[in-house]
């Protein structure tokens, strides 16, 4: 899976659109207990997520692979290809 768009949401959730049009939510909160993700407990730091296509990362050095996200996200829909045209 390649990540096309990512939007940080309240409560440490990432809203993600994949290259095949799937739309899903990924809850980052279980990772906040790990040292690498500790800085993301500050919500303004969490909001600074960047999209690397096959991973997402934050300024603090924390990152998640698209494979990890795909294995644990909750799919909520699919983009309409006509809507994007």
Please state, in angstroms and rounded to a whole number, the distance separating the CA atoms of residues 33 and 54.
Answer: 23
Domain count, the chain: 1
Would you tell me how many other CB atoms lie within 10 Å of the CB of residue 45?
16
| Domain enclosing residue 59, as ranges | 3-84
Would you tell me how many other CB atoms lie within 10 Å of the CB of residue 44?
7
C-beta separation of 49 from 56 below 8 A: yes
Q: What is the pLDDT of residue 32?
A: 97
Assess whether pLDDT exceeds 80 at residue 81: no
Sheet holding 55-57, edge to edge: 50-51, 55-57, 63-65
Q: What is the pLDDT of residue 83?
A: 53
Q: What is the pLDDT of residue 85?
A: 47
pTM: 0.90
Q: What is the pLDDT of residues 45-65, one digit of tens each?
A: 999 999 999 999 999 999 999
Q: What is the pLDDT of residue 80?
A: 78
């Amino acid at each position: 899976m390649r990540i096309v768009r990512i939007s940080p949401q309240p409560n440490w959730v990432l809203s993600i659109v994949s290259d095949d049009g799937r739309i899903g939510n990924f809850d980052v909160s279980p990772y906040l207990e790990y040292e690498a993700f500790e800085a993301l407990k500050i919500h303004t730091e969490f909001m600074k997520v960047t999209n690397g296509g096959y991973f997402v990362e934050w300024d603090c050095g924390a990152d998640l692979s698209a494979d990890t996200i795909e294995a644990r996200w909750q799919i909520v829909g699919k983009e309409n290809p006509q809507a994007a045209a």
